[in-house]
Chains A and B, each alone.
Chain A
Amino acid sequence: MIETLLKQSSGPLTRELVQSPGSFGLGNVPTRLTPSSTTTSICGYCATGCQLKLHLDEEGNAINLSPQANYPVNLGMACPKGWQALDPLTATDRGTVPLLRDPATGRRQPVDWNTAIATFTDRLKGIQQTHGRDAAAFLSTGQIPFEEMAFLGLLWKSGMGFLHGDANTRQCMATAVTAYKQSFGFDAPPYTYADFEESDVIILSGANLAIAHPILWQRIMRNKRSPEIIVIDPRATETAQAATVHLPIKPKGDLALYYALAHCIIRDGRIDYDAIKNTEGFDDFAAFVQHRTPEQAAHQTGLEAATIEKVARLVSEPGKRVSWWWTMGINQSYEGVRAAQAMINLALITGNIGKPGTGANSITGQCNAMGSRLFSNTTSLVGGHDFANEDHRNKVSVGLGIPIEQITSDPSLAYDEILRAAEDGKIKALWVVATNPFHSWINSGRLSALREKLDFLVVQDMYHSTESAEIADLYLPAAGWGEKTGCLINSERRLAPIRPVRKAPGQALTDFRIFRLLAQSWGCGGMFQQWTDPEAAFKLLRDLTQGRPCDITGIRDYDHLDESGGIQWPYPESDADPHPSAERRLFESGQFYHPDGKARLLFSAPAPLPEPTDDEFSFTLLTGRGTSSQWHTQTRTGKSDILRKLYPAQAYVEIHPRDARRLGILNNQVITVRSRRGSMKASAYLAPTVQPGQLFLPMHYPEVNRLTHPSFDKHSRQPNYKACAARLEV
């Protein structure tokens, strides 16, 4: 009695933390968050494609989540973004009604959907009638299901009759797309994640997996073959710290390095002659690299010739499984396509493709960049087709019931070309869907001037507060991940659905439903009569892929994808096993997608940096991911209290301590970083990661892209975010 009076070991506060069995394979969960049922969804951030298990209450509302065990991608794990995926849905700046800018006051006013849709239609029809089909463009995203991407692309080009549209995937993996298309004859990342576990030598180039794709790093950590892990990166990133070999290469020295490696490998005859029979252009390639010696590359790469020789032996060891992986360090480069192809060449000539633990493998950025590549109807005609190919246009016309004359054969402008046309006054209207170019686009300072040139800017987003939504003439409130259904395709070509587990706030609608409204209002509703819901659209698009390398006609429906742990393309109906193997890779037969079945060895001489350092701007400025808890422009990750705990609140610039000492800069001191295009304030972080003469800024702070240099890969039009000249001012 006295003891219980003196020690309150139970009570209301204690009860808040009591746990009970969660069922559904969950183990203990907090009692007040015990689910009535569960469902699954693919995470809506990056292209790893982790499956999450949503814990639902009786009404079907998600009250908690945990990563799905036994899903072949993440095996029960997730990074913090996935764990906190529900947090951004309840942010206070969610759009709940459409907003229309009042020309008199300049303020955005709430309007009803009727007014919003009518305004959209009137304004864009007016612009089309006056200025033609070239006068407007959409800028969309890799963050929505591909059923929505396809709807948008078809509505815009065939329904509304405009020509130009591109997506933020241009910033993300356009380089990989072009590299694969040219080398393999189709945009086909050949690997499956199991290759991480089955490789003997893993080369990670411009890829900080530990931070940017933690679940893929997990797969490497599960490799039981004691692999060599070679990280090629100017920075001593978390991944580089954990590697067996770190090559702190000079920024953009990659191409020279790969050619020097090819030189050594061919010189020493450490090539796979059988594999080379499946390629075209070997002799030219051998001649091209003949004089590209390690000694020559030493200057461009900053690496010693002996190091290059050693790595050349590591990556060509007979009998060893060698896999090449890259992400944005390669993709976001002015010669990224050739750099990616240089890795593809190395894989091809050493026979490291189409076998377990091998490949030249692009790790994609956004959750549905791969869906965008096949279905967005921007660069390629929907379903993995070619706008210029008449047969393809006919097939799409028949498959989707769209009159052939409403399927254009003309290519769209690329992202940078669309913005330049807008600057030149040729494009009068932009429709921005689920992306934030006024933060993310390279040299973003220029975009505020561009805004003034636009007659009409529509932004469709979850939040009314993004840098882009704030300056829109018309804002359409969109439902987000967790409030909609549809399919995502991950980096290893795996399709799987997302599920609605929350009601959207206010009058927010899914992008799919917004497109339905716009189709009806524009007068092309008939063309999309069958597009009643995402799963119906999925079946139309599935059938369209028949006979293409990305054939998925064997997939029954969303439930089939769920039951199978996702399904990788290709999965044609003709030879579909109803229970497909969980991990499948391409090119096991040695046959590629070019008409002759051979892969191309493509190359060109390395070009100098578009903006080298000089006396005035003596630092090379690198940009990239800050932490695993930050995503792109932070419109979502900035809304989670837990994620916010895990990254610095204010912009910081990583500086080598020696440079800091030379300039008299103290740790944590606020300094100015300036390029020829703009400047920003940042706290000096005397970090161990960068080399002397280099700076690193995380891309998540809106000021960063005021500094970046607008240069582009000429093949892929992907911006070169990663290297420009800058200086520090104290």
Chain B
Amino acid sequence: MRTLIDDLLAEQGRLQTPAAKFAEVHDREPDLADHYRSLIPLTKPGKDEQYAFEVSLDRCTGCKACVSACHNLNGLDDDESWRDTGALLGGEAAPSWQQTVTTACHHCESPECMHGCPVGAYEKDEDTGIVRHLDDQCIGCSYCILKCPFDVPKYSEARGIVRKCDMCHQRLAEGEAPACVQACPTEAIRIIKVPTNIPAIPERRRTEHEKNLFQSTIPNPQSGLPSSNITFPTTRYVGRKVPTTAVAADRDQLTPEHAHWPLVFMLVLTHVGIGLVGSAGFQPTASSAPLYLGTLLFNAGMIAAVFHLGQPHKAWRFFLGLRTSWLSREILAFSLFAPIPLVLCALPLLPDFPFKENVSILVQASVLPVGLLAVLTSVMIYADTRRSLWAVPLSAPRFFGTVFAFLLLGASVEFPLLRPFAAAAIAFKTLPELWVLRLADIDTDWSPLRHSARLQLGPLGNITFWRFALAALAMAAVIFSPWFALPLLLASEILERQLFFQSVQAPKMPGTFGPAHPTH
């Protein structure tokens, strides 16, 4: 017998067919057109002009509707929005001052995401100045994420590519306002036209305080705010004066950065490989073990690199970025090096051919020049992000140090006299790392490097301990046998490179206090 429960469950499973009852008129001007007409320019940018966001700090009071509207109106993933919010706190001079800051892509005059992209997946639109990301061109290398000083591009795990704000160019093209502009209850965000002035950049670098993102702020190294002198962001924050002591609300948040495991292995294994292959040249008795091992590890590193890419099958276009991107150059340099160890391994097995000896010597002699050049591109990739921990004086000893430590380790197989030098190389390599660690003292002023040091001694404390403990063990072991030391040092170096990525202070726009929710 049919009961009331059955009836009610059936009723609950039905939706009204809304078209019949609640349909509204089709194809009319957007309902909000009158509202936003004054919030977008009447005409397209002219010559030497581009579109830019203008944010009124007087009007923004932290409702964060812009973040939601961006998500809904662009149909983004569950946890994806191209706008984000954070806060600035007044600091010592203005203790009761705080301000919400809303940020999307700054559509920079000199977009570093674009310059860093190895495959040309970024374009700066000639007419509007909007920095567009070509989703189908992207190989998912994430280098733009490292290059952007504002933490704008975001990686989509599901798609294997990066996505970012396009200033709702499709809406602007039809005279509609971008989602965030439409949705701000207090009209705090608008689109303006700003002059572009690329040739004048050197001049502007000298007057950096005038061109700070928050115009009223003299850049304060302790603020935790990103520099605007790298990319020349076009967003204008106007209105309320920002105190000179203002700091980002999330500045002291010690959250380790992404580890980028494929990159950790790629860097360590290729650098170790180059060192070991290089050591073969010092071994006239042709002990081939370091050469074979080096070749193996180097190629393992090259394979690891592939796992870093979201769309590896599109990476063949890497040469498109050679003019500006160190990543393109790195791919080229490592591709040039890659055959060398294989040839070295193969030569003894090949039958004699004319000039074989000369070829052998030539190939052997090319190992270090080409190998070190490749490592130099690795150094430059990270140095070019302008992150403090990745500056050349700190990253070059790490990367080249790996090469030379393993070179000496490999060479000391045949020349025991080199063993103390191998141990010294290991020790020498840790010096810059220890120099950073000493900054952790809480009484020192905030700096990106102090942030790194506190991460290394705080949340990453175990990794830091084992990095140095294994290095010390490797130094002790090398006295007995380089073969004992090798795995210890390899493990230590992997941890060193994990720290390299996880403890870097990544410049970003101000965020919210406290740790972020884990994304799933």
Q: Is the CB of B5 within 8 A of A517?
A: yes
Q: Does B486 contact A (CB under 8 A)?
A: no
Known: A19-B171, A211-B61. 10 other contacts (CB 8 A): A12-B136, A13-B136, A64-B75, A80-B64, A83-B65, A84-B72, A236-B96, A642-B71, A652-B514, A687-B98
A68 and chain B: residue at smallest CB distance: B31
- If A39-B22, A76-B31, A649-B517 touch, whether A688 touches B61 (CB-CB below 8 Å) is no
Asked if B25 CB lies within 8 Å of chain A CBs, one says: yes
Q: Determine if A27 and B171 form an interchain contact, defined as CB atoms under 8 angstroms apart.
A: yes
- Distance of B245 from chain A, by nearest CB (Å): 11
If over half of B's interface residues share one DSSP class (helix, strand or loop), that class is named, otherwise mixed; here it is loop
Known: A9-B136, A83-B68, A641-B79. A668 touches B254 (CB 8 A): yes
Contacts A238-B62, A239-B61, A687-B89 given: A80-B68 contact, CB under 8 Å?
Answer: yes
CB neighbours (8 Å) of A26 from chain B are 30-31
Q: Are A33 and B75 in contact (CB under 8 A)?
A: yes
Which residues in window 640-657 of A have CB below 8 A to B? 641-650, 652, 656-657
- Nearest 5 A-B pairs (CB), nearest first? A30-B75, A648-B514, A11-B136, A69-B31, A27-B30
A56 nearest CB neighbor, chain B only = B18
Chain A residues in the interface with B (C-beta under 8 A): 6-14, 16-19, 21, 23-30, 32-33, 36-40, 56, 59-61, 64-67, 69-70, 74-80, 83-84, 87, 113-114, 117, 210-211, 214-215, 217-218, 221, 236, 238-239, 241-242, 479, 483, 499-504, 507-510, 513, 516-517, 520, 562, 627-629, 641-650, 652, 656-658, 666-668, 683, 685-689
Given contacts A69-B31, A648-B515, contact A217 B171 (CB under 8 A): no
> Does the CB pair B62–A13 fall under 8 Å?
no
Residues in B57-111 with C-beta less than 8 Å from chain A: 58-59, 61-65, 67-69, 71-75, 78-79, 81, 84-85, 89-90, 94-100
Instruction: Kindly state whether residue B513 has any CB partner on chain A within 8 Å.
Output: yes
**Complex Cα gap A310–B13 (Å):** 61
Given A25-B28, A500-B15, check contact A509 B254 (CB 8 Å): no
The stretch among B182-190, B387-395, B428-436, B466-474 that forms the contact with chain A is B182-190
B31 near A70 with CB under 8 A, answer yes
Q: Which residues of A contact B28 (CB under 8 A)?
A: 25
**Can you show 12 pairs from A to B with CB atoms below 8 A apart?**
A23-B27, A38-B24, A39-B22, A60-B18, A83-B65, A84-B68, A114-B5, A217-B185, A238-B61, A241-B98, A641-B79, A644-B79
Q: Determine the chain A residues whose CB is within 8 A of the CB of B442 once the complex forms.
A: 666
Instruction: Categorize the interface residue count of chain B.
Output: 35 or more
Judge whether B161 and A13 touch: CB under 8 Å.
yes
List residues of chain A with CB within 8 A of the CB of B187.
221
Whether B69 and A668, one on each chain, are in contact in the complex, defined by CB atoms closer than 8 angstroms, is no
Kindly state the separation between the CA atoms of A694 and B8 in the bound complex, as whole angstroms.
52
B residues contacting A by CB (< 8 A) are 3-5, 8-9, 11-13, 15-19, 21-33, 35, 58-59, 61-65, 67-69, 71-75, 78-79, 81, 84-85, 89-90, 94-100, 120, 134-138, 159, 161, 163, 166, 168, 170-171, 174, 176, 182-187, 252-254, 314, 317, 320, 442, 512-519
A629 interface neighbour in B15, B64, B134, Cβ under 8 Å: B64
With A26-B31, A503-B12, A688-B98 as known contacts, state yes or no: A214 contacts B513, CB within 8 Å. no
* Bound form: Cα–Cα A79–B138 in Å: 34
The chain A residue sitting closest to B519, CB to CB, is: A641
A64 nearest CB neighbor, chain B only? B72
**Pairwise interchain contact B89-A17, C-beta atoms closer than 8 A:** no
Contact of A30 among B74, B95, B120 (CB under 8 A): B74
Contact A65 B72 (CB under 8 A): yes
B5 A218 Cβ-Cβ under 8 A = no
Give chain A nearest CB distance to B59 CB in angstroms: 7
B135–A18 touching, CB < 8 Å? no
Residues of chain B contacted by A74 (CB below 8 angstroms): 185
Contact, CB under 8 Å: B176 / A28: yes
CB pair B89 A688 closer than 8 Å: yes
Q: How far is the CB of A473 from chain B (nearest CB, A)?
A: 20
CB closest residue in chain B, given A669: B252
In whole angstroms, how far apart are the Cα atoms of A322 and B89 in the complex?
A: 32
B99: which A residues are within 8 A, CB to CB? 241
Are A516's CB and B63's CB within 8 A? no
- Complex Cα–Cα for A66 and B21 (A): 20
Within the assembled complex, what's the spacing in Å between the Cα atoms of A114 and B136? 54
Q: Contacts A76-B35, A642-B79, A650-B515 given: A27-B136 contact, CB under 8 Å? A: no
Contacts A27-B171, A29-B73, A517-B5 given: A648-B65 contact, CB under 8 Å?
A: no
Q: A17-B74, A504-B12 are in contact. Are A69 and B23 (CB under 8 A)?
A: no
- In the bound complex, do residue B5 and residue A79 qualify as a contact, i.e. CB atoms below 8 Å apart? no
- Once A14-B135, A37-B22, A503-B13 are accepted as A-B contacts, the answer to whether A516 and B69 lie under 8 Å apart by CB is no
Q: Which residue of A lies closest to B24 (CB)?
A: A24
Q: Can you name the residue of chain A whose Cβ is closest to the Cβ of B90?
A: A688
Given A83-B69, A210-B63, A516-B8: A649 and B514 within 8 A (CB)?
yes
Q: Is the CB of A27 within 8 A of B32?
A: yes
Do B63 and A211 touch across chains, with their CB atoms under 8 A apart?
Answer: yes
Find out whether the CB atom of A37 lies under 8 angstroms from the CB atom of B136: no
Query: Within the assembled complex, what's the spacing in Å between the Cα atoms of A652 and B35?
Result: 38
Residue on A nearest B92 in the bound complex, by CB: A657
Question: Nearest Cβ distance between residue A183 and chain B, in whole angstroms?
Answer: 31
Give the distance in Å from the alpha carbon of A499 to the alpha carbon of B15 in the complex. 10
Bound together, the chains give a CA A696 to CA B362 distance in angstroms of: 72
Look across to chain B and name the residue whose beta carbon is closest to the beta carbon of A83. B68
- Which residue of B is nearest A90, CB measured? B78
Question: What is the bound-complex CA distance between A211 and B98, given in angstroms?
Answer: 14
Please determine whether A688 and B96 come into contact, CB atoms closer than 8 angstroms.
yes
How distant is the Cα of A562 from the Cα of B249 in the complex, in angstroms? Answer: 43
Alpha-carbon gap, A638 to B79, bound state (A): 13
CA distance A23 to B469 in the complex (A): 65
- The interface residues of chain B lying within 8 Å CB-to-CB of A7 are 120, 134, 137
Nearest CB on B from A187, distance (A): 29
Which residues of A lie under 8 Å from residue B85 when comparing CB positions? 646
CB distance from B255 to the nearest CB of A (A): 10
Do A77 and B183 touch (CB < 8 A)?
A: yes
Please name the residue on chain B nearest to A667 by beta carbon: B252
The residues of A that contact B29 with a CB separation of less than 8 Å are 25
**Interchain CA distance A483-B4 in the complex, whole Å:** 19
CB-based contact A628/B9 at 8 Å? no
Task: Give the CA-CA distance A84 to B73 in the complex, in Å.
Answer: 11
User: What residues of A have a CB within 8 angstroms of the CB of B512 in the complex?
Assistant: 646-648
| Interchain CA distance A652-B512 in the complex, whole Å | 12
B320 near A25 with CB under 8 A, answer: no
